Structure 1
Amino acid sequence: MIVTGKAIHRRTVLRGLGVSLALPLLDGMVPAFAALRKTPANGPRRFGVVYVPNGIAMSHWTPETEGAGFEITRILQPLEGFQDRMLVLSGMYGPPPNGGFHANASTRFLTGLSAMPSEYELQAGISIDQLIARSLGQETQLASLEVALDGRDVSGSCDVGFACAYSNTISWRTPTTPLPME
């Protein structure tokens, strides 16, 4: 290419073209940078829950010592870098339910409330993860993620006299709105 009698290399033209294409994006990047400035210096806080419906060997999860300097168990060792910011809760029990043992196990896990015996109407309570998401979720793009290893149905009867949503949901946005897992 020749401009005013002087030759310009093809690579120089391509570089200039690349820069000129990127210039309009700079205005679009301003909101992203503004959001970054609002991010806490240590990153957003997180809350995680592991639900194992068929039970686990609690002795492998529960530390033998209490307090900030608890002895980390073998299963928790991958999280050792977060030990100073981690709580391991144990020994939390509720009264036995009147029927619907499977439905009540998953419903009570984060709500602390028993499932209402019904195959069609749902009534539980707002789960603790959703209460926390209302506060911590303001720091992230998605306030809450519900993830499962396998897909579940949320309709029909999975436990005699109880809707499947009780057995297949641990998170509840409202007392009547279960959050199905992906």
Structure 2
Amino acid sequence: MASHIGKLPVAVPAGVEVNIEGQDFKAKGPQGSDSYTIPEGVTARVDGSEIVLEAADDLRPTRAKHGLARAMVASLVKGVHEGYVKNLEIVGTGYRAQMKGKGIEFSLGYSHTITVNPPEGITFELPDANHVSVKGMDKQQVGQAAANIRKLRAPEPYKGKGIKYADEHIIRKAGKAGK
């Protein structure tokens, strides 16, 4: 018995090189290269243009990690091929961002500006003063960098002012007069 997700093969797109040595999985593509250590009991092999992960049936903890290992391998392959992007919107009068070197300087209604520098492997882009794009090849790092920016001024429920994800819907509350 294995994981339903773990059974699915991972397609390897053109332009991505995959190398599996024991439990070490390495991928190299247009965005860069990355590696992942597959948990014990889960084996990976390249079958044509797909990666197949198999779990040992006798070990319960191994079966539990089968789907996780497949998801991590798929994420890594997509990251080195296309990369990941999180888009943020800045909502509020006077709230804006501007590039400062490789980092971004935010004016968010505080008495001071806040400068955020990108972590290693992450780049920031500003299409305009109210939109920020966080890009990189590691899904977890992109998500964490975007969450750190959002945390600077999380959207408030009355007017929706703050930094939010582009696809996020803020549930509004009624004000004092909204009985």
Query: When you count strand as a share of all residues, which structure comes out higher?
Result: 2
Question: Higher helix fraction: Structure 1 or Structure 2?
Answer: 1
Whether TM exceeds 0.5 here: the answer is no
